[in-house]
Amino acid sequence: MSISVGDTLPETTFMTMGANAPEPVSSKEFFAGETVALFAVPGAFTPTCSAKHLPGFKEKADELRSKGITKIACTSVNDVFVMDAWGKDQSVGEDVVMLADGNGTFAKTLGLEMDGSGFGMGSRSKRYSMVVEDGKVTQLNVEEGPSFEVSSADYMLKSL
């Protein structure tokens, strides 16, 4: 069963790169008291993710904040080192928090995992975006198949 609007996000631990080493981040603490634009990609450094998805949220960060978003975060089933390198490559700075879901636990718990083994990628996350207010999903935009439409920053902005 997939997560739905109105559901509370499950508790999990993401990894982010701290000043000197990887650091765990509790989902409960990360989303508490915040309005978060969270988006997921099938893989860091992949074509659509690097050319459109992540750059779109970086470019629209100020507009999203003007609509009440307090944090923007990207998650992917990649390890923390890959997510950190990708964030640096994309120059996200402080605009987008890179949340590594290295084991795919978050994607699976949400019911939003996909089988990317046909592309040599194993189990991955579907492409989606959501708005999470104090841990509760208030907007959910899941892509069908390989498309990139409803999970974009532009689409989210139209719905805020």
Of residues 99, 57, 92, 96, the one with CA closest to residue 78 = 99
pLDDT in tens, 24-81: 999 999 999 999 999 999 989 988 888 899 999 999 999 999 999 999 999 999 999 9
Active site residues: 49
CB 62 within 8 A of CB 68: no
CB 77 within 8 A of CB 43: yes
Q: Which CATH superfamily does the domain covering 13-159 fall into?
A: Glutaredoxin (3.40.30.10)
Q: Give the pLDDT confidence score for residue 46 in this predicted structure.
A: 87
How far apart, in Å, are the Cα atoms of 21 and each of 11, 15, 80?
A: 23, 10, 10
Residues 124, 91: Cα–Cα separation, whole Å: 24
CB 137 within 8 A of CB 4: yes
- Give me the half-sphere count of Cα atoms (radius 13 Å) on the Cβ side of residue 149: 5
pLDDT in tens, 86-110: 999 999 999 999 999 999 999 999 9
